[in-house]
Amino acid sequence: MEYKEERLRLINSLKYQGLSQEILDAMYRVPRHLFVPSESQIDAYVDAPIMIGQNQTISAPHMVAMMCDLLDLSEGQVVLEVGAGSGYHAAVISELVGESGHVYSIECIEELVNFSRNNLKNAGYSNVTVIHGDGSEGYPEYAPYDRILVTAGAPDVPDSLLNHLKPEGILVIPVGFYFQDLYQIKKELDGSISKNEKGGVMFVPLIGKYGFNMKS
> Quick one: pLDDT at residue 110?
96
> Quick one: pLDDT at residue 214?
62
Q: Which of 20, 38, 40, 59 is catalytic?
A: 59
Beta-carbon contacts of 80 under 8 Å, excluding residues fewer than 6 positions away, are 103, 104, 105, 106, 135, 138, 139, 142, 143, 145, 147, 148, 149, 161, 164
- What does each of the 216 residues of the chain score in pLDDT, given as a tens digit? 789 999 999 999 999 889 999 999 999 999 999 999 999 999 999 999 999 998 899 999 999 999 999 999 999 999 999 999 999 999 999 999 999 999 999 999 999 999 999 999 999 999 999 999 999 999 999 999 999 999 999 999 999 999 999 999 999 999 999 889 999 999 999 999 999 999 999 999 999 999 987 654
> Quick one: pLDDT at residue 215?
56
Longest alpha-carbon distance in the chain: 50
Number of separate helices (H) and strands (E) present in the chain: 6, 9
The structural domains of the chain, ordered by start, are 4-201 (3.40.50.150)
Catalytic: 38?
no
The tens digit of pLDDT for each residue in 40-70 reads 999 999 999 999 998 899 999 999 999 999 9
Residues written for the chain:
216
Is the distance from CB of 174 to CB of 201 less than 8 angstroms? yes
The tens digit of pLDDT for each residue in 85-102 reads 999 999 999 999 999 999
Q: How many beta carbons lie within 10 A of that of residue 199, not counting itself?
A: 9
3-state class (DSSP) for residue 22: helix
Strands 50-53 and 180-187, by their bridges, are: unpaired
Q: How many beta carbons lie within 10 A of that of residue 34, not counting itself?
A: 20
> Quick one: pLDDT at residue 59?
95
